[in-house]
Structure 1
């Protein structure tokens, strides 16, 4: 038995949701529906922002990049999940698993940085309105977004190289929907100190760092809103931040639950539910959140639809 346990893994086998084969078709249709809604919603948001001049502002420029990341983010995991359901498991080579892990980390890190940058944008708009045009110039926007992509690339490279330099032992089964860090760590044999350091580095420089930026930005925003004399003015100002706050709470809440906790003794089923939420459901919800709670987006959508009906 000891020799079997120390067998090095050359291929990983994703077995999430395969324990109940009778649920494969309904789950496949559910994931397919969610994926199509995600593509339609996020690509529609990008097209809407590009077509309507009123949405050519820094906030919507960042939102278009967030929508693009959500498309990429979900495309890394959802098609893989549907393949697992159809084939009742999916075998991934070491290289393919590493590539999926890299892409997921890359797009996920950029999502975190973009949400933090959007919080800073709201802070400047509410607390420094006279300097907003000066600070959030087109050149500054491109610089911020370029920095976000570079930071995401660095985070993904460091985590991927560190995670796949140690050996994996056992049968290679991953009771998960994709190659993520928590299930991979359960397969490591020998010293996993490097992975633990990577988790700490990722936790310090991505999740809490972005969370601090968001919290400080909104603390200053709330202080500025409280100084507005009229209740109507306070409500109108806060409504401009409501969509972003909702998206932040959903995305960061699930990521913090998944990564900033002790994974020992945690059930794989609970981890799967959380992973499905932040990789599949949230990218679908983001365009809905920003469209339902945003007057400019709804007006732009009505304008486009009326134009289509007339033609």
Structure 2
């Protein structure tokens, strides 16, 4: 017969081991699908590998090749795209969420559903719509619209500036509703009595927004900003659908991810593609670290 102490010891041991058992699947998944690919990509970036040929160690040669005009244009386009999408997709959804959450908007549920519908639309289908809506054809939707004001048809996807405008409008249309939902959820956590007290003290709507709403949803603002930065620099499907290729005339629609796609799948140059991927990862991490240090999400500066 086993002694009572043996059962007690076994129970204590099981309690200590249980957390590792439950977290093991996640840890294995993280190591296999995140850590290993990053390590493998970094190693490939240090090698000269074309197609399925055996890799040859090349040091930092692939990173030096990233100084070509195509990659510089891709970085510039991705940076501009990210800047303008963040400029719109961080504050605008918050303002709309506050408006929809107020008592001044009737049938707000209808508007919430309507604004969220684009997020459920396939990027490919939406991209085809924008491609034909902003076509250079005089009968295209946007050219027909501006024609009402006497403006001649435009080649929206043939010029760099107008291409940026189309891509930013596409992104805002696609993800505005998602960010509104994030903010609406965050607004429910802000105590209503704070607004009542501020109103009694004579605070106007703008003062209540800046001093109660913004601080109350600050973690969500930081989250939306973070995913907007990541989404901006990782943008690929939108541009690929609009131009039906990773390469565009004059590289006006080139992005960092489209550069990776072109090098990896069109030219089978996995070394340069991996170097571009590691550069993108490092760049986004640095930007997020700077952003988090400035925004102080955990309130270290207040302690």
When normalised by structure 2's length, the TM-score is 0.29
When normalised by structure 1's length, the TM-score is 0.29
